[in-house]
């Protein structure tokens, strides 16, 4: 029986010591307690909030590089004016239009176009790029279009709804404030993600227990978002409300692919990381909050695998193969984003695992569930 495109359900992170695969990576501790303080939910691990390590415009790429798009006109990126975003992100203004840069309907660019347009960063791989309007976590929405280049590092995890605009903590007061602002934004977006999941599962005749679990997960995310926002505001950040289009009920294969990527990969990894945070965060409020969040995220991850098993029975062989491929690709990409060290203050205050530990977690999960 396939699950999330091909593995069995994880009794996973609580029983599987996901942090032991590399030297110096300690076993993941079990979540403890139930404390729910206004420090909750640092549960979107590892955004590099406004501290990308080095300026991408100073890494051997000529400023003002231009490239002819498939349509002929020139698309010119302006590296000298780059802005640090979250999750290994650099945002660049550009001359031209999205069409001239080769963007698809959702703003995503092919990887070869990304390589041509995004300045390289030393020892850090380019993962993807897109042309997006932005939401600044610290000040709210803007209408500025820019090319966002995403470089490998520990990224936020969790169930992100389709159509969510990215949140960039550029002007937050330091890495911790920026990380917490982005995490709060994503937790609020997860409320919509689970709400849509419940509606779509119901429309496709899913069992009552799956609907009830999705409903409970949505309530969890309401609580997570409230507590995460309190943490972000305590750190001096402003958290805008996410804007997520409702959208029609999707086909089962589309739901299965999203569940495989956002649930079986990202939420499973996120559950493991929240357990590390629950044990190691230097901020007492964050540490207490993560003990509850870890428990919830483990349950959300298990829900993703349960949904995957049900969906698997509804799909034909070709669709199951595509779901499995999406899951495997997402797992491989996640392992690749672990190479860059998060800012020191995120490790010390929020318990974000250092790169070596994060790689150990991701590799062990991939070996067990994503390949």
The model's pLDDT over 223-233, given as tens digits with 9 standing for 90+, comes to 999 999 999 89
Q: pLDDT at position 275, please?
A: 94
Give the range with max mean pLDDT: 25-34, 42-51, 194-203.
Answer: 194-203
pLDDT surpassing 70 at residue 178? yes
Is the pLDDT higher at 249 or at 75?
249
Strand partners, 146: 132
Q: Residue 113: pLDDT band by 50, 70, 90 thresholds?
A: confident
Element (H, E) at 67: strand 66-68
Please enumerate in sequence order all residues whose Cβ is within 8 A of that of 106, keeping only pairs 6 or more positions apart, or say none: 130
307, 11 contact by CB (below 8 A): no
pLDDT surpassing 70 at residue 2? no
Range name among 24-28, 121-125, 195-199, 286-290 with the lowest pLDDT average = 24-28
Q: Which of 7, 15, 350 is nearest to 156 (CA)?
A: 350
pLDDT surpassing 60 at residue 215? yes
How much is the CA Rg of the chain, to the nearest whole Å? 20
Q: Which of 343, 85, 265, 217 is nearest to 273 (CA)?
A: 265
Give tens-digit pLDDT for 130-145.
Answer: 787 666 655 555 556 7
pLDDT surpassing 60 at residue 356? yes
Is the pLDDT higher at 100 or at 26?
100
Burial 214-243 (b: 16+ CB within 10 A, else e): bebbbebbebbbbbbbbbbbebebbbbebe
**Rounded CA gap, 269 and 18, in Å?**
9
pTM, rounded to two decimals: 0.67
137, 168 contact by CB (below 8 A): yes
Q: Which of 370, 353, 344 is nearest to 27 (CA)?
A: 353
pLDDT surpassing 90 at residue 70? no
Q: pLDDT at position 230, please?
A: 95
3-state secondary structure of 129: strand
Please enumerate in sequence order all residues whose Cβ is within 8 A of that of 165, keeping only pairs 6 or more positions apart, or say none: 132, 133, 134, 135, 141, 242, 243
Range name among 63-67, 189-193, 197-201 with the lowest pLDDT average = 63-67
Q: pLDDT at position 57, please?
A: 37
Tell the residue number behind the tokens 């996120």, with chain if given: 270
pLDDT surpassing 50 at residue 264? yes
Give the range with max mean pLDDT: 31-40, 207-216, 332-341.
Answer: 207-216
Q: pLDDT at position 168, please?
A: 61
**Rounded CA gap, 66 and 96, in Å?**
10
Q: pLDDT at position 26, please?
A: 35
Report residue 114 CA to chain centroid gap: 20
Is the pLDDT higher at 1 or at 342?
342
Give tens-digit pLDDT for 31-50.
Answer: 344 444 443 343 343 333 33
Give the range with max mean pLDDT: 39-53, 80-94, 314-328.
Answer: 314-328
Element (H, E) at 150: strand 140-151
Range name among 111-120, 258-267, 301-310 with the lowest pLDDT average = 111-120
Structure tokens at 369: 């569930």
Q: pLDDT at position 142, please?
A: 57
Beta strand 74-77 with 66-68: parallel, antiparallel or unpaired? antiparallel
Range name among 175-179, 253-257, 271-275 with the lowest pLDDT average = 175-179
Query: Could you give the angle at which helices 208-234 and 174-203 cross, rounded to 10 degrees?
Result: 160
In the chain, where are the structural domains located? 12-48+169-369, 56-152
**Rounded CA gap, 291 and 3, in Å?**
27
Range name among 60-74, 195-209, 296-310, 329-343 with the lowest pLDDT average = 60-74
354, 341 contact by CB (below 8 A): yes
**Rounded CA gap, 230 and 20, in Å?**
33
Would you give the end-to-end CA distance of the chain in angstroms? 14
Burial of residue 21 (CB within 10 Å: 0-12, 13-18, 19+) is middle
């Amino acid at each position: 029986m396939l699950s999330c495109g091909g593995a069995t359900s994880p009794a996973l992170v609580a029983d599987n010591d996901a942090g032991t695969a590399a030297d110096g990576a300690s076993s993941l501790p079990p979540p403890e307690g139930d404390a729910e303080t206004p420090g909750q939910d640092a549960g979107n691990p590892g955004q590099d909030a406004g501290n990308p390590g080095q300026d991408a415009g100073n890494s051997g790429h000529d400023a003002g590089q231009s490239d002819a798009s498939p349509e002929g006109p020139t698309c010119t990126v302006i590296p000298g004016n780059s802005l640090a975003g979250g999750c290994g992100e650099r945002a660049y203004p550009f001359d031209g239009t999205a069409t001239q840069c080769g963007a698809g309907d959702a703003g995503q660019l092919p990887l070869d176009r990304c390589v041509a347009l995004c300045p390289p960063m030393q020892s850090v791989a380019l993962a993807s790029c897109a042309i997006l309007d932005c939401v600044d976590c610290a000040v709210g929405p803007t209408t500025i279009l820019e090319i966002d280049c995403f470089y490998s590092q520990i990224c936020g995890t969790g169930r992100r709804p389709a159509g969510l605009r990215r949140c960039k903590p550029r002007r937050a007061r330091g890495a911790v404030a920026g990380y917490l602002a982005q995490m709060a934004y994503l937790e609020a977006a997860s409320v919509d993600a689970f709400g849509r999941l419940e509606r779509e599962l119901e429309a496709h005749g899913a069992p009552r227990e799956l609907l009830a679990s999705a409903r409970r997960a949505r309530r969890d995310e309401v609580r997570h978002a409230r507590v995460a926002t309190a943490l972000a505001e305590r750190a001096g950040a402003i958290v805008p409300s996410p804007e997520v289009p409702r959208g029609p009920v999707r086909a089962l294969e589309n739901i299965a692919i999203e569940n495989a990527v956002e649930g079986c990969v990202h939420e499973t990894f996120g559950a493991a990381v929240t357990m590390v945070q629950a044990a190691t965060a230097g901020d007492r409020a964050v540490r207490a909050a993560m003990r509850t969040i870890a428990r919830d995220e483990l349950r959300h991850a298990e829900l993703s695998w349960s949904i995957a098993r049900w969906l698997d029975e509804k799909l034909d062989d070709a669709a199951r193969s595509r779901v499995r491929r999406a899951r495997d690709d997402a797992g491989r990409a996640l392992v690749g984003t672990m190479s860059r060290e998060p800012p020191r203050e995120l490790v010390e205050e929020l318990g974000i695992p250092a790169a070596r530990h994060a790689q150990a977690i991701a590799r062990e999960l991939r070996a067990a569930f994503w390949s």
